[in-house]
Structure 1
Amino acid sequence: MSSLLLNWAVLTISFFITISLFWLGLMVLLAGNRRSAGTWLTGGGLMAGALFFTSHTAIMGRGLSSTSFGMDFWWWVSWIPAVVAPLAWYGALLWYSGYRLDRPHHHHSWLILNLVLAVGIGLLLVFANPLPSYRYVVGRIIVITPSIGGIPLLIIVYVAYSLLCYLLPLDLLRKPPIGSPLETRARQRARPYLVFASMALLLAGILLAWTALWALNTHPVPTLSNAQTERIVQQFDLGVAALVALAITLLGRAIVGFEVFTGRPLPRNRFLRQWRSTVILAGGFGAAAAFTLTIELRPIYSLMLATGLMTLFYALYSWRSFVEREDFMERLRPFVASQNLYGVLTTPQSESEGSTRALFDTLCRDVLEVRLATIVPAGALATLAGPPLAYPESSAAPSIDASGWPGRFSRQVRCLPAEQAGEPGGAFPGIDWAVPLWSSRGLDGVLMLGEKINGNPFTEEEIEIAQAAGERVLDLLAGTEMARLAMELLRQRLAQAHVMDGQGRRVLHDEVLPELHTTLLHLSALAPGEPSIRQAMSSLSKAHRQIADLMREMPLPVPHRLVQGGLAAALRSLVEHDYANDFNEVEWRIAPEAVEYARGLPLFVNEVLFFAARELVRNAAIHGRERENENSDALPLCLEISLEIKNGLHLAITDNGSGFRSRGPDAAGGSGNGLRIHNAMLAAVGARLEVLPLPERGTQAQIYLQPGNPAQ
C-alpha cells in the first residue's frame, strides 16, 4: 500500500469515527433520559471518544513526523479521553447488565480495580512526568520515565487498564440483562451487537498493546522521523482504527435501534433512519476530507468541496424527509379518511362490519407489519364493540378475561409484555405485547400484538400509532353499533306509529260510533221529554255527527292508498285532492318499471317515501308563491313529479316557485325540522333526500332509494 493511499485510509476512518461518535454522544445526551446513569455514562464516553479521535485526526492530518506546537497541544489533550473512554465503556456495560452499588455483584472488585488504575494513570500523568512533548516522541518514542524491567510504568498500567475495560464487558454480556420487562427485551435484542462491539474493542486494545511491545523491543529505538517507522506505525494505527470503526458502527446500531443506553423503554424509528444517514455522511465526508488533506489541496478548493458535499447531503436529507412524510401520509390516510358511516348504517350488518375489519387489517398489515394481533374490547365497550377482532382473519381470537385489566394497566405505561397482561399462569400463543386503549371513561380495551414480520422491535412511534389507531377502531365499532341500534329503534317506532294510525281509525269507526249510537237509543227509550235527557241526547248527537263528518272528510288512509294503487297512485291522489287549488299545472313523468319496482317494496318503505314526498309537495304549495318583490305579479306555479329507475328508485319533485333562497331563517318556511325528520326516516330505510335550488327560479327535491338495505 502506497504512503498516500495508507494516509488517506487512516484519515478517512478517523474522520468517520469522529463524526459518528459526536453524533451518537450528542443524541444520547440530548434525547435520552437524563435521570438515567446509563445516559450519562454512555454519552460521556462517546463524547470522550470523539475528543480523542479529534486529536487523532489532527495529528494524522499534520503527519506523524511534524513537530509544531499544535502537535504538542493535541498530543497532551488526547490522553484525557484516552483514560476516560475505556472506563466509561465498562461503566455503561455495568449499567446495562443491571449493576447497582447497593446490591451484591461479582464485578464490585473489578470496578474498584479499574477505578484505582484510572486514578493511578492520572497521577502518573500529573506528577511522574512520563508524558514528554511530542517533539521527544517523534525523536525517540521512549524517554526516561518510571519503569519496571525497562518498560515504562505508564505503558504497563495503561495497557492493563484498557484491556480490563474491554475484556470485562464480555463477562457481563454472558448473562442475560436485568431490568424492567421492556428494558430486558430491548437489551436482549441489542446483546449480539454489544458482544461483537466489545470483541472489536478488545482486539483493538490487543493490537495497541502489540504496537507498544514492538516499539519497546525494536533496536535501535524506532523514531517517527524515520519514514519506514512512520509507515509501520500508520499500518498499526489503521488496524486499530478499523476495529474501532467497526465497534462504533455496531454500538450505534444497538443505541439507535434498541435505545439500550438512553433510559427509554422503546426505541424511536426516526433515530435509526438518522443513524443510517449519519453513517453515510461520515463515510462520504471523511473520504473527501481525507483526500484533500492527502494531496494537499489548496484551502479554497477544500472549502468548495466541503460546501458542495454539505449541499448534496442536505439535499438528500431533505428529499428523504419528503419521502418519509409522503409514506407517513399514505399510511395515515386510511385512518383519517371517511369510514362511510351512512353507508354502514344502510347496508346489511355483515357488509358494514367489513369497513372496520379493513381498517384493522390495514393497521396490522401495512403500519405495524405484525404476524398476529387481537383487539379486545373491555369495560363499557365490551358489549357494544362486540367480540374481539383477530388478525389475520383466519386466526382465532384468544379467550381472554378482561375483568382484571384495569388494575394491571396505567396511563403512564404504553405497553406491557403479554404475560403481565394475562391471568397468572396464562399465556397467549404468538402474542408478545399488550397495548392499553384508553378513553375518558377509563380502559376501553387492549390491543395484543405479536412479533413483527421483519423481527425488529416495536418503536415508540409505532406503539403510539397502534394505541391511537386501536382506540379509533374501538370507537368506530361501538359508534357504529350504537347508531345501528338507534336506526333499528327508529324503524320500530315508525312501524308502531303506522299500526297506531290504523288502529285509531278502526276504533273510531268500529267501536266509538256504534257505542254512541247505542247510547242515544237507550236514552231515547227512557224519558225523551225530560230536559236533562233531551240535553244529553243533543250533546251525544252532536258528537256523533262531528265524528262521522270528520271520518267522511278524512282522506283514505295512506296504507289503503298504497295498497290499492301503489306509490305513484297515492301521490297522484294526494296532489289532485289535497292540493288541487295550489298549483296551476302539474306534470307527471312516471316510468312503468318504477311503478312495478315500488310495488315490490314493503309497505313500510312506501309509507316513508310517501310522507317525505307529501312534505315536499306541501312546502312547494306553501312557499312556491312567495314573491321576492311584493310589487311583482304572481307567476303561474307549476309542479313536476317524476318517478324512475336510476340505480334504485328515484323520485324528483320540482317547482318553479320562488325557492328557499328568497327566504330568511325566520320566514314562514319554518325551522326546517320537518325535512330533517323525514331525512332521518329516509335514512332508516336506505334512502337519502337532496333539496337544491334551480339556477333561475324554483326548487328541485330528489329522493334516492338504493337497493340492499335490511329494511327493504
Structure 2
Amino acid sequence: MGFLREKRIYRIFFWLLLASQIFAIVFFFSWSRKFPANISLFHFWNIVPFVFRLSYLIYILFCIVIPIFALFSFRVSKRILPEVARNKAVPYLKAVSLLLFGVFLLVFFLFLGGGIGVIKDPVSGSDNDPGSFYLFLIGIQTFVAIAVLVLGHALISYEIFTGRILPKISLRREWRNAILGFSALTISYFILTIFGFSKIELFLTGSYVFCISRTILLKKSKDLRLVKSSVLSSIVASEETSENSLTNSNSLKEKFRKPFDILCSEILETSSALFINESRIPFIEDVVLYYPGRIETNENSDPNTFKNMNLIFEKENIAYLEDENEFALCLKVKSDHSGDGLLFLGKKVNGGLYAEEEIETARAAVSWMLSSLFTESNSLTLSSLQRRHMEEQRISDYKTRHILHDEILPEIHSSILILSQLQNETALTEQIALLTNLHKRVSSFLRELPDTSLEITRLGLIDALIRRTSSEFEASRFEWSYDPTLKERFPISKPEALEILFYACRESFRNAVKYSGEIGANKISVSFSENHETKKGILVRIKNRIETDRNPTLESAGQGLRIHSALLKIFGGYLTLEFLNTNEALVEIFLPE
C-alpha cells in the first residue's frame, strides 16, 4: 500500500514467512505422528525440542517486527482519500503491532524462560505452582484482546485493506453490538464458573452460531439495501413546466436546491459539493448546483474546469482527487437519456470518511435528478406540441369564420342581387330562393358558432361560465360564490390559459349535473377565490351531492376530467376529484398566474 508498494523487500519477507509456515505445519504433523493421540499436553511439551521452540519464536518475531518497521516507514504516495485514510489508521496499527510484540515477549519467556535459565519453566511447574502459568496466559489474552479491539476500531473507522469506501455505518453498529454481546457472554461464563459450571464448549458453539447467523443476515440485508437503492434511483417527481428553457432551467435549480442542500449537510455531512449535469436533452440547459452557496462566487468554481478534468474512475464510478483540490472524490452516474451526472464531494466536516451507505444515497439522489431532467424534457416537448396544436386549431377556426363571413356570404349575396334583377324567368326565381335560403343558413351558423376566447375576453371568465351554464342547464341549479371585485382583477390574463380553464370548468359542471340527480333536488355550489398560500392564481371549487341510486356506473365519473387535468398541468395547474363521503363530491381546479 502506498509507499510500501515500491519496497520489494517486504514481498520477499512475505513469501519467505509463508513458505516457513507451510514447512513448519508439514514437519510438525509428520513428526507428531510417532506419539499416541491420548498423550497429555504437558508431557508433549516436555518432549518438544528446544530448537523447534526457538525457530517458532523467530518466526513470530519476524511476523511482528516486519510490520513495525513497515508502519514506522510508511509514507503516503498520493494525497487522495484512500491513502489519507490509511495514513490515519497507521497509529492504530502501530499500537496493534506493539501489543503483539508484548505477546511475543510473554510467549518467549513461556517457551524458553526455563531453557535459558532466566525463570523457572512455567509449563513444567504448572502442576505444583499453576499461578505463574495462568498469569502468563492471562497476560497473553489481555494483550490479544486489546489488540483485537484496537484493530477493530481501525477497520470500522478507516480504509486500510480494501480499495473501496469504508467504513460502513452498519459495520460500526455491528462491531459495537459484538463487543457488548461478547462482554456479556464473558461475564456470564465467569459467573457460571464460580458456581462450578465450566463447559466453555457451549459458549463457543453459541458464539460461532451467532457469528454465522449474523454474517448471513448482513449479506441478506446488503442485497435488500441494493434493491431498495435501485428502486430509489427510479423514483422521479414531475413538476410544472415553464415558458422557456432559461426559466425552466432556473426552476429546476430551485427544485433541486433544497434536496441537494439536505443531502450534503445532513446525510453526507460534507464541507463542499458540486453537481454538474452534462445534458444531452433538448430544452434543458446544464444544471450546476453548489454547496454551500458561497463557493458559487469562487473563481475556482467554474464548472467547465471540472468537466475538462482528466478523471480516472474505478469500477464503482468513483474517482479520488488529489489533496490540493477543493474536492476529495468524484461520483459519476450515467444516464442514457439525460447524460452523465458528476457529483464532486469535499472532505467531511468531522474529518472522517464517507460510508458505503452514504455513497449509495448520493448515487440514488443523482439518479433521481437525472431522471427528473428527462421527465422535465418530455413535459416540455409535450407542452410545446400541445400549445402548437391549440394555436393551429384556433387559427383554423378563425380561418373558417373568415372564409364564410368575408368570401362565401358576400358572393352569395352578390349572386342574389344579380339574379333578382332577372324576374321574368321562373327558373331564376327558384335559384334565387335556394341562394336566399343558403345565405340564411350560413348566417345562422356563423351566429351560433361560439367564439369562446372572444366571449371570455368580452364578458370575463365568470360571466362567460354563468352564461354558458344558463344556456345548457337550469340556472337555479347553481349557486355562485365569488368576490365581486374578482371580475375586475382576475389573476389570469392569457387567452389560451383562460380557454383551458373555461373548458375544464364546463366539463366539471356537466359531470356535477349528470350525477347530482333530478332538477332542483340538489344544488351545485361553485366558488371562485384567489389562492395566496403557495403561489398566486385562481382556485375554483365545485361541490355537489351524488345520487348513487340513480347512477350505478358512478365509477366512470371523472374519465373526461383526466384530459382537462393533463391540459391544466401544461400551464402549471391541476384538477382534483375528491369524494368527501358516499353522497358528496368536490372538484378543485387551480391555475396559476
Structure 1 position 608 matched with structure 2 position 500: yes
- The answer for the alignment partner of 1:688 in structure 2 is 574
Structure 1 position 591 matched with structure 2 position 482: yes
Alignment of 1:415-430 (within 5 A): 415-418=318-321, 429-430=325-326
Distance 1:376 1:489, change over 3 A: same
SS at match of 1:431: coil
Q: 2:103 aligns with which of 204, 209, 220?
A: 204
Q: 1:165 aligns with which of 63, 79, 102?
A: 63
Alignment of 1:107-146 (within 5 A): 107=10, 110-111=13-14, 114=17, 118=21, 119=23, 123=27, 127=31, 134-136=41-43
Give 2:64's aligned amino acid: Y
- The answer for the alignment partner of 2:141 in structure 1 is 241
Q: 1:545 aligns with which of 440, 449, 460?
A: 440
Deviation at 1:474, TM superposition (A): 1.8
Structure 1 position 384 matched with structure 2 position 284: yes
Distance 1:540 1:644, change over 3 A: same
Any unmatched runs of 5+ in structure 1? 1-92, 147-151, 420-426, 627-633
CA distance in 2, matches of 1:171, 1:464: 37
- The answer for the alignment partner of 2:178 in structure 1 is 278
CA distance in 2, matches of 1:250, 1:656: 72
Q: 1:704 aligns with which of 573, 589, 592?
A: 589
Distance 1:596 1:256, change over 3 A: same
SS at match of 2:487: helix
Q: Contact conserved, 2:122 with 2:133, CA < 8 A, in 1?
A: no
- The answer for the alignment partner of 1:298 in structure 2 is 196
Distance 1:657 1:292, change over 3 A: closer
SS at match of 1:546: helix
Structure 1 position 363 matched with structure 2 position 263: yes
Q: Contact conserved, 2:515 with 2:546, CA < 8 A, in 1?
A: yes
Deviation at 1:429, TM superposition (A): 2.8
CA distance in 1, matches of 2:433, 2:572: 52
Any unmatched runs of 5+ in structure 2? 532-537
Distance 1:393 1:486, change over 3 A: farther
Q: Contact conserved, 2:278 with 2:341, CA < 8 A, in 1?
A: yes
Q: Contact conserved, 2:577 with 2:586, CA < 8 A, in 1?
A: yes
1:388-421, Cα deviation, whole Å (9 max, x unpaired): 22222332354247888999658x53422246xx
Deviation at 1:523, TM superposition (A): 7.6
CA distance in 1, matches of 2:527, 2:48: 110
Deviation at 1:277, TM superposition (A): 1.9
Deviation at 1:428, TM superposition (A): 8.4
Question: How well do the aligned residues superpose, as a CA RMSD in angstroms?
Answer: 5.2
Deviation at 1:602, TM superposition (A): 1.1
CA distance in 1, matches of 2:29, 2:235: 71
CA distance in 2, matches of 1:136, 1:624: 100
Q: Contact conserved, 1:433 with 1:448, CA < 8 A, in 2?
A: yes
Q: Contact conserved, 1:430 with 1:450, CA < 8 A, in 2?
A: yes
Q: 2:327 aligns with which of 418, 424, 431?
A: 431
Structure 1 position 573 matched with structure 2 position 467: yes
CA distance in 2, matches of 1:406, 1:673: 54
CA distance in 2, matches of 1:108, 1:353: 53
Q: Contact conserved, 1:415 with 1:435, CA < 8 A, in 2?
A: yes
Distance 1:563 1:161, change over 3 A: closer
- The answer for the alignment partner of 1:193 in structure 2 is 92
- The answer for the alignment partner of 1:13 in structure 2 is none
Deviation at 1:514, TM superposition (A): 3.6
CA distance in 2, matches of 1:246, 1:186: 22
SS at match of 1:704: strand
1:178-223, Cα deviation, whole Å (9 max, x unpaired): 99x8975664454333232222212321343355564332477777
Give 1:607's aligned amino acid: E
CA distance in 1, matches of 2:111, 2:515: 105
CA distance in 1, matches of 2:464, 2:43: 115
- The answer for the alignment partner of 1:663 in structure 2 is 553
CA distance in 1, matches of 2:521, 2:510: 13
SS at match of 1:446: strand
Deviation at 1:484, TM superposition (A): 4.9
After TM superposition, the structure 1 stretch with the greater mean CA deviation from structure 2, 585-594 or 430-439, is: 585-594
CA distance in 2, matches of 1:158, 1:687: 81
- The answer for the alignment partner of 1:72 in structure 2 is none
CA distance in 2, matches of 1:442, 1:656: 46
After TM superposition, the structure 1 stretch with the greater mean CA deviation from structure 2, 653-662 or 589-598, is: 653-662
Deviation at 1:357, TM superposition (A): 1.9
Give 2:284's aligned amino acid: L
1:283-336, Cα deviation, whole Å (9 max, x unpaired): 33224423543x3x1329x89x979x99xx99xx9xxx9xx99xx9xx99x969
Deviation at 1:673, TM superposition (A): 5.9
Deviation at 1:663, TM superposition (A): 3.3
Q: Contact conserved, 2:516 with 2:547, CA < 8 A, in 1?
A: yes
Q: Contact conserved, 1:344 with 1:352, CA < 8 A, in 2?
A: no
Q: Contact conserved, 2:271 with 2:348, CA < 8 A, in 1?
A: yes
SS at match of 1:444: strand
Deviation at 1:276, TM superposition (A): 2.2
Q: Contact conserved, 2:272 with 2:292, CA < 8 A, in 1?
A: yes
Size of the aligned set, in residue pairs, is 555
Q: Contact conserved, 1:641 with 1:654, CA < 8 A, in 2?
A: yes
Structure 1 position 154 matched with structure 2 position 58: no
Give 1:413's aligned amino acid: E
Deviation at 1:472, TM superposition (A): 1.0
Give 2:527's aligned amino acid: L
CA distance in 1, matches of 2:468, 2:20: 106
- The answer for the alignment partner of 1:445 in structure 2 is 341
- The answer for the alignment partner of 2:405 in structure 1 is 509
Deviation at 1:550, TM superposition (A): 1.9
Deviation at 1:166, TM superposition (A): 0.7
1:226-260, Cα deviation, whole Å (9 max, x unpaired): 79964344444444333322222233334444564
Distance 1:340 1:597, change over 3 A: farther
- The answer for the alignment partner of 2:535 in structure 1 is none
SS at match of 2:447: helix
- The answer for the alignment partner of 2:542 in structure 1 is 652
CA distance in 2, matches of 1:436, 1:338: 19
Give 2:51's aligned amino acid: L
Give 2:502's aligned amino acid: F
Structure 1 position 413 matched with structure 2 position 321: no
Q: Contact conserved, 1:364 with 1:370, CA < 8 A, in 2?
A: yes
- The answer for the alignment partner of 1:477 in structure 2 is 373
CA distance in 2, matches of 1:473, 1:617: 39
Q: Contact conserved, 1:121 with 1:154, CA < 8 A, in 2?
A: no
Distance 1:701 1:244, change over 3 A: closer
SS at match of 2:574: strand
Q: Contact conserved, 2:275 with 2:341, CA < 8 A, in 1?
A: yes
The percentage of aligned residue pairs carrying the same residue is 22
Give 1:608's aligned amino acid: I
Give 1:464's aligned amino acid: E
Q: Contact conserved, 1:437 with 1:444, CA < 8 A, in 2?
A: yes
Distance 1:165 1:553, change over 3 A: closer
